[in-house]
């Protein structure tokens, strides 16, 4: 055991930096090689216009069909709110960010409707449990995540904003597991902006690979 | 006493009991829908079937009395199969709308399905019979016929308990349904009980309906403070802050959502009157008093000094107190200690009416829960109640007073009481009013202190028959409110007697000094209370 130094009662290994550099063949020449990489990128991005980055927020990527963005309250055919105020989402919510007040629906078959349905978007952790718990598919998630606001009170979204906000379906719905994912477009590397993540029907998707692996084992 | 064997265990039971009663007393679980201990036996649900040796068929345990040497089994494959088939029949046309049903979370159908059935329905869901929903039976009760399993608990309640018979089963066979006779509404003072006893979501309370889901509620066992009967109840209040950080919508202080009858055979069986059931709404009738007026640094020290100076100037008899029979025994006892016995509690006609029945079931004319307790403490003193105190104050015999006022939970406080209190406050040189709400008569008082209301403090009430029962704190006191016993123990501490503001400790002190309560403590009172020894009182 080496004597205690620097207050730590452990054996601190010493690294010989020049040894390591020699092992990795790092010489003066490698410095210029590194400049070369930078220059090559400069050429490809400015002359060939092949850039991995985009000019956000003017340009935006489209996220996957399973993206858990801000919530959407869906409607029936007649335009009325689908929610029956059953509190399943408020019950499962680990962040306790959903507040519902139920009222008596004029149609006794439907029984209930939410007089108030508020989600505290600052408190929400976007886990998507509310969507999983909903028996009516009344709440789904969008592919949108922008929610800048000037005050905290604006970040509590009521029925109106959850149901009809501008551009709510511009990007299409996000996480909604009860609708079959087969509808979703398959991943095509040529259409880079179409879908950043493969859908679960894609054979290369980790979830599908894992499932087929298990099937093979059985 | 017959000896019976249930599941290989021998029990000695009094004759005349039914099998299900014996099982309940011995902690053996038998599923049931139609059986309820307080409404009479029907035997229609076929859930409580048990196997009895030497009997060819399974017998309904709710309707079979035990006899000597009976060998009963509740857990054989035959019994399990019978229960499973009964469940399948009961759920045949059930809409399974648990997400929107108010009963879910406390539904016998859900519980027994998970415990005893677990089958997949063999009946096509599209062919289920649909029946009328949300039918108003009366002002407090709504009926959903789809969910009804025709156990007839509600019918037997109106037939055997209230003896009014508003509800009945109409039509026959598959068409039979629960209904009221023509247009006569189900409107009696005990109508809310059918909601408590309905094992499924068929009968729902118009007051509680859709307010909150059952699993968000926390139950606290307590005592109704609506009248001197002292019915046992469970206060269902918010248990978690649903709505998270949403301003103004967070239930952090706690909110009472409903009352549920708690079984105490010696007092109220399982029942509550509708007034008592809805009595928590009284707390919402006026704005709550949230802070002391005028705001001084340490109000109680200031008050104590004022009382001491007045006592020195005008003699010990110049400072008195007026409690009320809604205060707990603990608070009244400490009040008596601090004011040296110069305490009264009579603000109306409590002492004359507290044992008189309003009807033949539960309700009593005195709308204060603790008149007997105040009498046991000897507070019906020479002060002569509210009127006597007003006279004494106007004659300047009494110059300073502490007035603790809690509104009646059932009905309105009599106008003459409120007028008398206002006269009293105006006549006094120095008056301290500790109360729960912003009442107009409080305005001229020298000091106004916010006091914790019923369900916001622990304590005991002694009901009309002398039964001492514990009332528990369910929700947090509003604003700066403090229980009366806490204020009194602080005053006593200031006057040199060290008192811990702990109701259980105060009760033990009181039990040592009050012969009626000798030997009692919170552990012996427990949930059902203890009757005071009758020969010692009165």
Determine, for residues A99 and B100 on separate chains, whether the beta-carbon distance falls below 8 Å: no
User: Is residue B291 assigned to a domain?
Assistant: no
* Same domain (yes/no): B41, B178: no
Question: The domain spanning residue B175 has which CATH number?
Answer: 3.30.70.20
Q: pLDDT value at position B126?
A: 82
ipTM above 0.95, yes or no: no
Determine, for residues A95 and B244 on separate chains, whether the beta-carbon distance falls below 8 Å: yes
* Same domain (yes/no): B436, B475: yes
* Same domain (yes/no): B341, B323: yes
d(CA A135, CA A88): 8
Residue spans of the domains in chain A: they are 17-46, 71-183
Residues of A in contact with B100 (CB under 8 A): 84-86, 111-112
Determine, for residues A91 and B213 on separate chains, whether the beta-carbon distance falls below 8 Å: yes
pLDDT-above-70 percentage for chain A: 75
Give the Å distances, CA to CA, from B365 to A5, B232, B264, B335, B372.
86, 18, 21, 26, 14
B530 Cβ neighbours under 8 A, 6+ residues apart = B467, B468, B520, B524
Q: pLDDT value at position B538?
A: 41
CA distance B249 to chain A (A): 8
Q: pLDDT value at position B322?
A: 94
Which two tokens mark B150? Answer: 């025709």
Instruction: For residue A49, report the phi and psi dihedrals to the nearest 5 degrees.
Output: 55, 40
* Same domain (yes/no): B261, B155: no
CA distance B82 to chain A (A): 32
- On the 0-12 / 13-18 / 19+ scale of CB atoms within 10 A, B284 is exposed
The sign of the CA dihedral B66, B71, B76, B82 is negative
Mutate to test the interface with B, among A112, A127, A137 (most CBs of B within 10 A): A112
Higher-confidence residue of B467 and A203: namely B467
Q: What is the mean pLDDT of chain B?
A: 91
Whether B230 and B368 have beta carbons less than 8 Å apart is answered as: no
**Residue ranges of A 113-132 with Cβ closer than 8 A to chain B:** 118, 120, 122-123
* Same domain (yes/no): B45, B104: no
In the CATH hierarchy, which fold is given to the domain comprising A71-183?
Alpha-Beta Plaits (3.30.70)
* Same domain (yes/no): B520, B469: yes
Residues of A in contact with B134 (CB under 8 A): 104, 108, 111
Q: Which has the closest alpha carbon to A123: B242, B387, B363?
A: B242
**Chain B interface includes A82 (CB < 8 A):** no
Residue B286 scores a pLDDT above 60: yes
Residue A198 scores a pLDDT above 60: no
Question: The domain spanning residue B270 has which CATH number?
Answer: 2.20.25
Question: pLDDT tens-digit profile of A173-182?
Answer: 888 887 654 3
Determine, for residues A120 and B243 on separate chains, whether the beta-carbon distance falls below 8 Å: yes
CA distance B457 to chain A (A): 28
Task: Identify the domain containing residue B141 by its residue range.
Answer: 98-205
Q: What is the dihedral of CA B386, B388, B392, B398, to 10 degrees?
A: -50
Mutate to test the interface with B, among A81, A87, A135 (most CBs of B within 10 A): A87
* Same domain (yes/no): B251, B384: no
CA distance B274 to chain A (A): 22
The sign of the CA dihedral B453, B456, B461, B467 is positive
* Same domain (yes/no): B200, B245: no
Instruction: For residue B86, report the phi and psi dihedrals to the nearest 5 degrees.
Output: -60, -45
* Same domain (yes/no): B311, B176: no
Question: pLDDT tens-digit profile of B83-104?
Answer: 999 999 999 999 989 999 999 9
> 3-class DSSP state for residue B360?
coil
User: Is residue B294 assigned to a domain?
Assistant: no
Instruction: For residue B149, report the phi and psi dihedrals to the nearest 5 degrees.
Output: -110, 10
Count of alpha carbons within 13 angstroms of residue B310, beta-carbon side: 22
* Same domain (yes/no): B383, B320: yes
Mutate to test the interface with A, among B101, B244, B257 (most CBs of A within 10 A): B244
CA distance A149 to chain B (A): 16
User: Is residue B293 assigned to a domain?
Assistant: no
Residue A57: asked if its preceding bond is cis (omega within 30°), the reply is yes
User: Is residue B19 assigned to a domain?
Assistant: yes
Which two tokens mark A66? Answer: 């399973």
Question: pLDDT tens-digit profile of B255-273?
Answer: 889 999 999 999 999 999 9
Residue B371 scores a pLDDT above 80: yes
Question: pLDDT tens-digit profile of B397-436?
Answer: 999 999 999 999 998 999 999 999 999 999 999 999 999 9
> Span A137-163, mean pLDDT?
86
d(CA B396, CA A194): 90
> Span B503-515, mean pLDDT?
93
**Residue ranges of A 28-57 with Cβ closer than 8 A to chain B:** none
Determine, for residues A87 and B132 on separate chains, whether the beta-carbon distance falls below 8 Å: no
Per-residue confidence band for B66, with pLDDT thresholds at 50, 70 and 90: very high
d(CA B4, CA B72): 8
Single residue among B90, B124, B151 that ends a domain in this structure: B90
User: Is residue B344 assigned to a domain?
Assistant: yes
Question: pLDDT tens-digit profile of B377-405?
Answer: 999 878 889 999 999 999 999 999 999 99
Of B100, B211, B241, the CB nearest to A96: B241
Whether B208 and B188 have beta carbons less than 8 Å apart is answered as: no
d(CA B10, CA A114): 55
Count of alpha carbons within 13 angstroms of residue B159, beta-carbon side: 13
Q: Which has the closest alpha carbon to B466: B528, B370, B369, B531?
A: B531
Question: The domain spanning residue B397 has which CATH number?
Answer: 3.40.50.740
Whether A139 and A163 have beta carbons less than 8 Å apart is answered as: no
Mutate to test the interface with A, among B242, B250, B252, B257 (most CBs of A within 10 A): B242
Q: What is the DSSP letter of B160?
A: I
* Same domain (yes/no): B75, B119: no
User: Is residue B537 assigned to a domain?
Assistant: no
Determine, for residues A90 and B133 on separate chains, whether the beta-carbon distance falls below 8 Å: no
Q: Name the domain count of chain B.
A: 4
Output the DSSP codes for A143-208.
S------SSGGGGEE-HHHHH--TTTTTT-B---TTS-GGGSPPP-TT-TTT-SS--TTSTTSHHH
User: Is residue B289 assigned to a domain?
Assistant: no
SS3 per-residue string spanning B427-463:
HCCEEEEEECECCHHHCCCCEEEEECCCCCCCEEEEC
Higher-confidence residue of A24 and A9: namely A24
Question: pLDDT tens-digit profile of A153-162?
Answer: 788 888 888 8
Output the DSSP codes for A32-53.
HHHHHHHHHHHHHHHTS---S-
């Amino acid at each position: 055991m080496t004597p205690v130094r620097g207050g730590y009662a452990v054996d601190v290994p010493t690294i010989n930096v020049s040894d390591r550099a020699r092992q990795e063949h790092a010489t003066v020449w490698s410095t210029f090689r590194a400049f070369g990489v930078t220059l090559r990128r400069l050429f490809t991005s400015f002359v060939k216009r092949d850039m991995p980055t985009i000019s956000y927020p003017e340009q935006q990527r489209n996220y996957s069909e399973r993206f858990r963005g801000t919530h959407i309250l869906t409607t029936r055919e007649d335009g009325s709110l689908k929610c029956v105020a059953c509190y399943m989402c408020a019950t499962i919510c680990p962040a306790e960010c959903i507040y519902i007040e139920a009222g008596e629906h004029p149609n006794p078959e439907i029984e209930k409707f939410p007089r108030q349905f508020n989600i505290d978007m600052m408190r929400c952790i976007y886990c998507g449990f509310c969507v999983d718990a909903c028996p009516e598919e009344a709440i789904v998630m969008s592919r949108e995540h922008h929610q800048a606001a000037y005050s905290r009170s604006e970040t509590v979204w009521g029925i109106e904003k959850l149901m009809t906000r501008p551009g709510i379906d511009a990007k299409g719905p996000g996480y909604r597991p009860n609708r079959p994912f087969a509808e979703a477009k398959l991943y095509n590397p040529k259409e880079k902006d179409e879908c950043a993540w493969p859908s679960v029907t894609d054979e290369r998707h980790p979830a599908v690979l894992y499932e087929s692996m298990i099937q093979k084992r059985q | 006493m017959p000896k019976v064997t249930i599941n290989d265990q021998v029990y000695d039971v009094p004759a005349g009991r039914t099998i299900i009663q014996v099982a309940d007393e011995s902690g053996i679980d038998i599923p049931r829908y139609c059986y309820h201990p307080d409404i009479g036996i029907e035997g229609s649900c076929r859930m409580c079937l048990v196997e009895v040796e030497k009997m060819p068929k399974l017998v309904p345990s709710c309707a079979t009395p035990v006899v000597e040497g009976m060998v009963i089994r509740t857990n054989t494959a035959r019994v399990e199969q019978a229960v499973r088939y009964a469940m399948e029949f009961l759920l045949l046309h059930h809409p399974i709308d648990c997400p929107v049903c108010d009963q879910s979370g406390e539904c016998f159908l859900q519980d027994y399905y998970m415990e005893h059935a677990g089958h997949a329905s063999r009946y096509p869901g599209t062919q289920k019979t649909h029946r009328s929903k949300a039918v108003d039976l009366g002002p407090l009760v709504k009926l959903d016929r789809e969910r009804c399993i025709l156990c007839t608990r509600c019918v037997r309640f109106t037939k055997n308990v209230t003896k009014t018979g508003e509800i009945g089963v109409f039509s026959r066979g598959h068409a039979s349904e629960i209904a009221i006779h023509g247009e006569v509404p189900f409107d009696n003072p005990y109508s809310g009980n059918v909601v408590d006893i309905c094992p499924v979501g068929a009968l729902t309370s118009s007051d509680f309906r859709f307010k909150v889901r059952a699993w968000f509620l926390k139950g606290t066992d307590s005592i109704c403070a609506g009248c001197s009967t002292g019915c046992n109840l469970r206060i269902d209040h918010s248990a978690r802050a649903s709505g998270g950080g949403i301003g103004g919508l967070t239930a952090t202080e706690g909110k009472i959502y409903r009352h549920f009858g708690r079984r105490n055979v010696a007092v109220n069986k399982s029942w509550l009157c509708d007034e008592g059931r809805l009595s928590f709404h009284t707390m919402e009738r006026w704005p709550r008093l949230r802070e002391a007026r005028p705001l001084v640094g340490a109000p109680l020290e200031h008050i104590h000094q004022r009382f001491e100076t007045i006592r020195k100037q005008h003699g010990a008899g110049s400072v008195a107190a007026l409690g009320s029979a809604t205060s707990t025994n603990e608070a009244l006892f400490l009040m008596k200690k601090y004011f040296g016995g110069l305490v009264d509690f009579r603000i109306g006609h409590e002492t004359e009416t507290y044992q008189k029945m309003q009807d033949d079931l539960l309700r009593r004319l005195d709308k204060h829960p603790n008149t007997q307790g105040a009498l046991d403490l000897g507070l019906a003193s020479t002060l002569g109640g509210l009127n006597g105190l007003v006279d004494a104050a106007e004659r300047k015999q009494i110059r300073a007073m502490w007035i603790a006022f809690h509104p009646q939970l059932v009905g309105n406080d009599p106008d003459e009481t409120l007028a008398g209190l206002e006269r009293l406050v105006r006549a006094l040189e120095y008056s301290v009013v500790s109360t729960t709400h912003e009442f107009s008569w409080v305005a001229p008082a020298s000091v106004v202190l916010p006091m914790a209301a019923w369900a916001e403090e622990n304590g005991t009430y002694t009901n009309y028959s002398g039964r001492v029962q514990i009332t528990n704190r369910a929700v947090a006191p509003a604003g700066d409110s403090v229980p009366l016993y806490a204020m009194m123990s602080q005053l006593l501490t200031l006057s040199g007697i060290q008192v811990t503001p702990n109701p259980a400790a105060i009760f033990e002190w009181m039990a040592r000094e009050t012969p009626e309560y000798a030997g009692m403590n919170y552990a012996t009172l427990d949930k059902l209370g203890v009757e005071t020894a009758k020969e010692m009182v009165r």
